[in-house]
Every structure is written in structure tokens, then in C-alpha cells.
């Protein structure tokens, strides 16, 4: 009979800890990223990487970093959503200057 109590208690603990960890996992921000070379000068809140143009989010750190990026720089863009979505915006730029 002790084995049944132990298993029931173990099951209850596993369920409790599983439910308590769900909110912590749900609060993680997920970013998509794209990396490549800047192929056109960043202008008007947009940056072009490997021929694909991405919109830069207003008020983001990417907006402040836009001025430091030049054609030929290798960059990694952090995106607010999937790269192929029209509503996705660049929220951060990490540049390695090509010159």
C-alpha cells in the first residue's frame, strides 16, 4: 500500500511542478533572426540584407543602430516574427563591419 501512496504523491508533485513551470516558459520572448550582408544603404527605416528588404521597428534598438550600418557589413537581424511575414520588423541589428 505504501507503494501506491508514494506513486500518487510523486504523480501529484510532477503535475504541480509541471503546471507551475508553464507561466515561466510562456514569458520567454522568442526572436527570429536573419544574417547576411547589407546590400543597399539603410534608408527610411528599412535595411536590405542579401537583397531582401526588412522594415525597422520604430523606437527599437535597431532604429538607433541603423546609422552605423554600411553596405558590405555582415549583420545579424533580430526580427519580431518570421522573416517571410509582411508584418515582421527588425528589432535589433548586430553588425560586423566589413571594412
CATH number of the domain where residue 36 is located: 2.40.50.320
The more confident residue out of 96 and 98 is 96
Mean pLDDT of 47-64: 94
pLDDT band at 98 (very low <50, low <70, confident <90, very high): low
Say whether pLDDT at 62 is over 80.
yes
Q: What is the pLDDT of residue 11?
A: 74
User: How far does CA 40 lie from the centroid of its chain?
Assistant: 23
Beta bridge pairs of residue 95: 75
Mean pLDDT score of the chain: 84
DSSP character string of 21-81: HHHHHHT----EEEEEEEEEEEETTEEEETTEEEEEPTTSHHHHHGGG--TT-EEEEEESS
Q: Please, which residues have CB within 8 angstroms of residue 35's CB and are 6 or more apart in sequence?
A: 49, 74, 75, 76, 77
Domains held by the chain: number = 1
Residue 48: give the domain boundaries. Answer: 32-96
pTM flag (> 0.85): no
Amino acid at each position: 500500500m505504501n507503494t501506491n501512496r508514494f506513486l500518487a504523491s510523486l504523480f501529484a508533485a510532477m503535475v504541480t511542478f509541471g503546471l507551475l513551470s508553464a507561466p515561466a516558459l510562456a514569458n520567454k520572448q522568442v526572436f527570429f533572426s536573419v544574417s547576411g550582408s547589407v546590400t543597399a544603404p539603410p534608408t527610411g527605416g528599412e535595411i536590405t540584407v542579401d537583397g531582401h528588404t526588412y522594415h525597422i521597428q520604430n523606437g527599437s534598438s535597431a532604429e538607433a543602430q541603423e546609422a552605423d550600418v554600411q553596405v558590405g557589413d555582415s549583420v545579424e537581424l533580430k526580427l519580431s516574427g518570421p522573416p517571410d511575414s509582411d508584418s515582421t520588423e527588425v528589432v535589433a541589428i548586430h553588425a560586423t563591419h566589413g571594412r
